[in-house]
Every structure is written in C-alpha cells, then in structure tokens.
Amino acid sequence: MQKAKIAVAQFCGGPSVSKNLAKCTHLMRLASAQDIKLIFFPEASDFIGNPPEEALTLASPISAKEGEGEVERIGEGEFLKGLCQQARELGIGCSVGVHEQSPFKGRLYNTHVLISPHGTITQTYRKIHLFDVDIANGPRLMESNSTVAGDRLVPPVSTPVGKIGLSICYDLRFPELALALRKKGAEILTYPSAFTVKTGEAHWEVLLRSRAIETQCYVVAAAQVGQHSEKRTSYGHAMIVDPWGNVCAKLDRVEEGIAVAEVDLSTLERIRTEMPVLNHRRDDIFS
C-alpha cells in the first residue's frame, strides 16, 4: 500500500487507568470512522502523575514467549487488554506509551507498544535515553529514579502504513537513534511524548522536523497536553511531519483529539531518490 491515513492523538492523561483507557478508545473510534489504519498515542497513556508506589502497582506486565519462530507478546492489565480488544473490534492498529513492570525493585520500564489491527502486540521498545535534567526556572525531573533504561533498539516493524521505528520522547534529542532506525529500513519514526512546557516551547517542533529531514522519514509525535497534577504539565502540540520536513498535521497546545495526515510512500521514495543522503554518509570517517 503506497498511501494510507494515520492519526496522531493528544490528550491530558491523569492517574486513573480506566479514564485514560476510555479517552484512548474514544479516539480510536473517531479515527476508525475516518478510515484510519493506525493511530498513535502519547507516552504514559496508561497513567501519569501518580505517586511512585502507586505507579508500581498499576504498571502493565508484558510477557513474551517463543512460538513457531516468532515471539508472542501478551499485555496483561486493564489498559493494554482494553486497547487490544478495541483494536481487534475496529480493525485499527495503534502505537502507545505505557509503564511496564520490570524485575528491578522500585523501578519500571518506559515502554512503547505497537498493537496490530488484529489486537495483538507486535513489538515493544523500552526507552533507552532517560530524562534526568534540572532546568533553570523549569522542572527538575530524574526519570532514572523510577525507570530502568532499555538496552537495545528494535528493528522497524512492518505495518499497513509502512515500516515503523520505535522511540520515546527524550530519544528525540539523539539523532544517532533515528539514523540507526533509518538504516534498518524505517519509513516512519515515532516519538510518543510528554514534553515539558519549557523544553517544548524551545525545541519540540525544530527537533521533530530535523529528525524527519535528516532521515527522510515521516515523523509522528503523539503528545500529552495540559496539567496532569500540581507539579506536572505537558506541552502538547502533537504533530505529523513528512520526509521533506513539512508539518502536515498538528494539534494546538490545549486541544484534546486527533490530527490526520496521509502517509505516501511513493513521495518518500522520490525524496530519497532525488537526494540520496544515506548513500552520501561518510561512515568510513564517522563510524
């Protein structure tokens, strides 16, 4: 399929898993009514702003087992089960950021889950770059206090809309990850996010457009938006960027909902053919 419609979602998540699930399933129904093939949800779509001890009990277990040459991934818990069921009923795939249980005491994984239109989990990626920063006149956030860093990138996943490379939020600041995914065949890069307001105002759009231009990929960045708790507010501005760096769909800072754009792989191939930057990279010098 050369052309397909996708949707990027934006909402203000809170501490209730059931309420966040209801928001996601509502947006999935809106997308399905517009013949969307895949919808992209933000980082921490399952819950956000909860005390650390509560987060540990709410996080989703995701098991994996080998079967006939493939890895079968099963998401337990209310949130992932609910999304998988809705995907299956509507025939629409989704990308979503969740908290995943880990074997490390007191800490979780920040995980990106890709769900097929059949309602099965096709891939998971654990965030490798953790947001440990202390911003002047802004937030002090130490993600590593509660989160275990992932230790690998995962190969792009074939979907009805193209080959998708998985990343999460702060990964956006590291172009080597995006380039590695492009070299492995990615056509769409995803950044489910919950950007702070201060960093979002300064860098959000320019980073997303940069990743699109340098990799010649579509970039899809779902976003948390608004005030989740007394101490946490997210920037929003979810968007889809095409391989030429044009913003082709975008949501405002305060808006909850979806924005829709068409992925055209023939346009992507034309851009890559006319300006073959990947072929020009001096890997003999910059290894």
Residue 56 domain boundaries: 3-280
DSSP annotation of 245: S
Domain assignment present for residue 66? The answer is yes
Give yes or no for residue 68 having a pLDDT over 70: no
Binning pLDDT at 50, 70 and 90, where does residue 66 land? low
pLDDT at 1: 62
- Residue 256 is among the residues annotated as catalytic for this protein: no
CA-to-CA distance for 183 and 189, rounded, in angstroms? 12
Domain assignment present for residue 271? The answer is yes
Binning pLDDT at 50, 70 and 90, where does residue 235 land? very high
Residue 243: HSE in the Cβ half-sphere, 13 Å Cα cutoff: 23
How far out from the chain centre does Cα 33 lie? 22
Binning pLDDT at 50, 70 and 90, where does residue 31 land? very high
CA-to-CA distance for 117 and 160, rounded, in angstroms? 9
Domain assignment present for residue 7? The answer is yes
Rg (CA), the chain: 18
Q: Residues 190-213: what's their mean pLDDT?
A: 96
Active-site pick, 143, 169, 217, 250: 169
Strands 38-40 and 140-142: unpaired
Domain assignment present for residue 212? The answer is yes
- What's the pTM value of the predicted model, to 2 decimals? 0.95
Domain assignment present for residue 40? The answer is yes
- Residue 169 is among the residues annotated as catalytic for this protein: yes
Q: What is the CATH number of the domain that holds 120?
A: 3.60.110.10
Q: How many domains does the chain have?
A: 1
- Residue 54 is among the residues annotated as catalytic for this protein: no
Q: Residues 164-186: what's their mean pLDDT?
A: 98
Active-site pick, 23, 24, 37, 43: 43
pLDDT at 76: 85
**Nearest of 79, 82, 80, 63 to residue 71 by alpha carbon:** 63
More confident residue, 187 or 51: 187
Whether residue 238 contacts residue 10, with contact meaning beta carbons closer than 8 Å, is answered with yes
Active-site pick, 23, 127, 143, 217: 127
Alpha helices in 135-218 (DSSP H): 175-183, 197-215
Q: What is the pLDDT of residues 71-82, one digit of tens each?
A: 778 888 999 999
**Nearest of 150, 162, 114 to residue 264 by alpha carbon:** 162
How many percent of the chain have pLDDT more than 90? 85
pLDDT at 108: 97
pLDDT at 183: 97
Q: Name the token pair of 60.
A: 């989703």
